[in-house]
Amino acid sequence: MSKNKTLTGPLAEHIRNFLNEKRTLGYKYEEQERVLSVLDRMSQQFDCSNGLPKDLCLAFIQWDPNWKQRTQEQRVTLIRTFAEYLIRHEIPAYLVDFSIVTKRNEDFKPYIFTHSQISDIFNAADSIHPHSSNAHIFYPAILRVQYGCGLRISETLGLRMKDVDMDKNILHVINAKNNKDRDIPVSGSVMEYIKWYGRKVHPVYVPDEYFFKSRRGTGHYEKTAVNHYFRDILFDCGIMHGSKSDGGPHLHNLRHTFCVHSLEAMLRNGIPHQVALPLLMTYLGHSSLSATGRYLKLTAEAFPDLVDQINRIYADIIPDLEVKTEYEDD
């Protein structure tokens, strides 16, 4: 029996419906349910007759000296996601600003590879000399999955043979970040590399075997090893590598680049932003639209000719998502 049936506060019905919606979308939301039960208990001390009030939100995220910074960030993200849900259902809600998070790094910008650099990276991977490590088979495939599907490297390495549907061109991502399962459509060109890799490495179908299995065959490739080899590929391409803390370039930037290049393609092809952003959010496994919206600015920086179009989106759409509430500050 779901724990959310024990909720008794004035927002209990909204919280239950919110949790049900998330689970319908594939999120497990177990830890989030536990944290929302705290919000439910707190709500009984506040006036919630007109939705989600500011004073309750601020009390919910109030800094506790025993918290790590990540704990406060998670609470802000959760209360914002719940507020966005309420606003979509025309229920007034205060939307907490991320600036309230202690010591938040506002200047961090991920590295975005150019289209030319992506081509260079693939060419370098395709040119790896054949040897017993199978690197000449592994890297041409996995780097195309990283860029072509926008997966986190842990999600890609965690794929098992049963998660790779070569008939329907689908990758089943199980137990990903935020405890969310999702199905990822794969382009025909990327799937051809996946099939090529499968023929080379998996002559026999074993459903529970890791698709990107290690040479030992007892597990999958290690993330650290993939990161190190990717640095060598960047060096071969004349691209100076960096660390995650200084913005890259590094392996995870392939996911960031997928986001920006996907938004670029959708905007150029006339796909409405009302469709593009939620579509990309679901594809990436983000828990809220605000997380995906960050890539609009990066897209504008990478493709200046799209600045006017993206500025209109910011003016017309982002304020509607993040400001339209009776509880906002002046």
For the segment 257-294, what is each residue's pLDDT rounded down to a tens digit? Answer: 998 898 888 888 888 777 888 888 888 887 767 677 77
Q: Which band of pLDDT confidence, cut at 50, 70 and 90, is reported for residue 162?
A: very high
Q: Return the pLDDT at 325.
A: 29
Residue among 321, 296, 319 nearest 309 (CA): 296
In terms of DSSP H, where are the helices of 238-330? 253-268, 273-284, 289-302, 307-316, 318-322
Average pLDDT over residues 189-218: 90
Q: Return the pLDDT at 5.
A: 55
In order of 7, 49, 175, 274, the CA distances from 92 in angstroms are 20, 10, 33, 21
Q: In Å, how far from its chain's centre is CA 158?
A: 16
Q: Return the pLDDT at 102.
A: 57
- State the Cα–Cα distance between residues 49 and 43, nearest whole angstrom: 11
Q: In Å, how far from its chain's centre is CA 19?
A: 19
pLDDT tens digits along 21-72: 999 988 888 889 989 999 999 999 899 999 999 999 998 988 565 666 778 8
- CATH topology assigned to domain 115-236: hpI Integrase; Chain A (1.10.443)
pLDDT tens digits along 206-260: 999 999 998 776 788 888 889 889 989 998 898 876 555 455 688 988 998 998 8
Q: Return the pLDDT at 249.
A: 85
Q: Return the pLDDT at 192.
A: 94
- State the Cα–Cα distance between residues 98 and 92, nearest whole angstrom: 19
Indicate if the pLDDT at residue 130 is higher than 60.
Answer: yes
Average pLDDT over residues 166-182: 83
Average pLDDT over residues 196-211: 93
Please report how the helices 12-24 and 69-88 are oriented relative to each other, as an axis angle in degrees rounded to 10.
Answer: 100
Residue 252 contacts residue 234 (beta carbons within 8 Å): no
Q: Bigger pLDDT: 72 or 157?
A: 157
Indicate if the pLDDT at residue 117 is higher than 90.
Answer: yes
- State the Cα–Cα distance between residues 99 and 81, nearest whole angstrom: 16
Q: Return the pLDDT at 238.
A: 87
Task: Specify which residues 184 forms β-bridges with.
Answer: 171
Q: Which band of pLDDT confidence, cut at 50, 70 and 90, is reported for residue 330?
A: very low
Indicate if the pLDDT at residue 169 is higher than 80.
Answer: yes
Give me the chain's average pLDDT, please.
Answer: 82
The first and second tokens of residue 3, run together, are 């724990």
Q: Which band of pLDDT confidence, cut at 50, 70 and 90, is reported for residue 99?
A: confident
Q: What angle do CA 125, 299, 76 make, to 5 degrees?
A: 105
Q: Which residues lie closer than 8 Å to 121 by C-beta, 6 or more apart? A: 113, 143, 147, 233, 234, 237, 239
Measured distance between the N- and C-terminal CA atoms of the chain, rounded to whole angstroms: 43
Q: Bigger pLDDT: 260 or 330?
A: 260
Parallel/antiparallel/unpaired status of strands 182-185 and 164-165:
unpaired
